[in-house]
Amino acid sequence: MSEAQPNPAPATPGISDRNWIPILAKYWKPSVTRSVVELFITIVPFFLCWAAAYWALSVSYWLTLALSIPTAGFMVRMFLIQHDCGHGAFFEKRRYNDWVGRFLGIFSLTPYFVWHKAHAVHHAGSGNLEKRGLGDISTLTVAEYQALTPLGRLGYRMYRHPLVLFGIGPAYNFWIRQRLPLGFMRSGWRYWVSAMGTNIAMLIVAAIVIYFVGFKAFFLVHLPITAIATSIGVWLFYVQHQFEDTYWNQGTDWELQDAALFGSSHYDLPGILRWFTANIGVHHVHHLNARIPYYRLSQILRDFPELANVRRLTLWQSLSCVKLALWDETARKLVPIRSV
């Protein structure tokens, strides 16, 4: 690996000069009432949409597939509530966060404790070239890519291909990989209990539904829902950190606040998509203080409008991020493989 130069302060006057972490601390406290309402308006519509997609089998499978889209949206929203629970942001008491997170993990195909620990590693080292790996989308520097064998380059190109990254990869990750506590196989029994407990609960729920609707109907309905939801989830995670002028640094040059502000995007989505994705697009603020409930993130942008334009990406602009795959340590930006 070539030695990276310190990443200069991004050209956003006044933003990086302020210590945002204590400023945002007052927003962390969740509202029990609001959290319960958010749970209700997510879980109940998910089951209703699932039932509607099953009913649509008797009309047209195309109608079932159409209904899979909003159902997948509610599944994504359940995962993002689970995400807030993992940060201790959804309820004030940890045990409430943990039990709600475990319950939602049954439907998001995600063992709560395993994911929570892996995601904590991501937050602790996001944007740090020396802490890549667990909980991240694999990203090589230009020098690392050039040092690979031809076969290694081919493997990396295949991994970063959109069909793999947003199609095959999400299905593999959520359907297969997360059935084991990979990354924590030798880290203690709690990880195995989390993974195996989630697997057993998923099988019980699936068996109950199959008993009433049948094996074929269950998979005709549920497979497209989970395929769409997992792809959306990976896309969101990708675009939150994989954009051209993102932030990467090494060792002592890495700064937590700069990594949060400039290594995480403000994915400014249309209103309905912001709702389904639980404001996760306000990702730079989330990385500044992960204990802020997602329903307070919009208020922060209103109170501090200068944050709204930091690393802002629209839905249309985000599509250009697909081609980016390598960190250029000289140009200090992500670049396409074909540019190397």
Could you report the per-residue pLDDT of 52-69, keeping only the tens digit for each? 999 999 999 999 999 999
User: What's the average model confidence in pLDDT over 283-289?
Assistant: 95
* Residues near 224 by beta carbon (within 8 Å), at least 6 away in sequence: 64, 65, 68, 72
Three state DSSP letters for 246-277: CCCECHHHCCHHHHHHHHCCEEECCHHHHHHC
pTM: 0.92
**Three-state DSSP class for residue 46:** helix
User: Over the stretch 148-167, which tens digit does the pLDDT of each residue have?
Assistant: 999 999 999 999 999 999 99
Structure tokens at 118: 């892996």
d(C-alpha 268, C-alpha 280), whole Å: 10
Residue closest to 102 by CA, chosen among 6, 190, 164, 20: 190
- The answer to whether 288 and 21 have CB atoms below 8 angstroms apart is yes
Structure tokens at 314: 């629209």
Q: What is the pLDDT of residue 12?
A: 56
